[in-house]
Amino acid sequence: MSGIDAAKRRLRRELLDMRSRLTGDDAREAAAVLAGRALLLPEVAGARTVAAYVSVGGEPGTGALLEELRRRGTRVLLPVLLPDDDLDWAEYEGPDSLAEVGRAGRLTLREPSGPRLGPEAVTGADVVLLPGLAADRAGTRLGRGGGSYDRVLARLAAAGAEPALLVLLHDHELLAEVPAEPHDRPVHVVLTPSGAHRVRGRG
């Protein structure tokens, strides 16, 4: 294991421990504030298609944002985890269209039950919301380590797609520095309840 890998693992453990201490009220409050802030971003307000995700565990809640985007007529794509940890996509059609999917050793996920659109569907999104555990002001995002969104970002690059990349975090998860590897692709905006933190030179 490289020094960067070890540093990422340590940081993930610390951040997941902090998230485990958050209350349901913390999550609901963050969800409402983040939805409002996200919808004020010109990238999101003007998007025809947004690739998002359903929050789990201590992640900042995305439910309010998904519903408001749908209400505004924005097409929302949500991920479906494949056996090899890649992501397929399906359209969000409201909370009742989500099904709970449990996988051994993982958090229970809520996934869209509609027709699968294929992994390439994400390349048509104007905005991609990325889950994360932390990010820094250079836009380096720390994920959970499964590699699903590394594949998404690689797929976008291979297709020449250039959507706005946003990561949603709690305020304490915006750090001075996140360990980075050459393949890590920076995001354009780190969105926390305290505001939108744009990466210099990236939007």
* Residues tagged in the binding site annotation: 8-12, 54, 59, 141-149
* CA–CA gap between residue 118 and residue 97 (Å, rounded): 18
Binding residues for ATP: 8-12, 141-149
Taking a C-beta distance cutoff of 8 angstroms, is the pair 107, 57 a contact? Answer: yes
* CA–CA gap between residue 82 and residue 75 (Å, rounded): 22
Buried b (16+ CB within 10 A) or exposed e, 56-84: eebbbbbbbbbeebbeeebbbbbbbbeee
Binding residues for substrate: 54, 59
* CA–CA gap between residue 116 and residue 95 (Å, rounded): 17
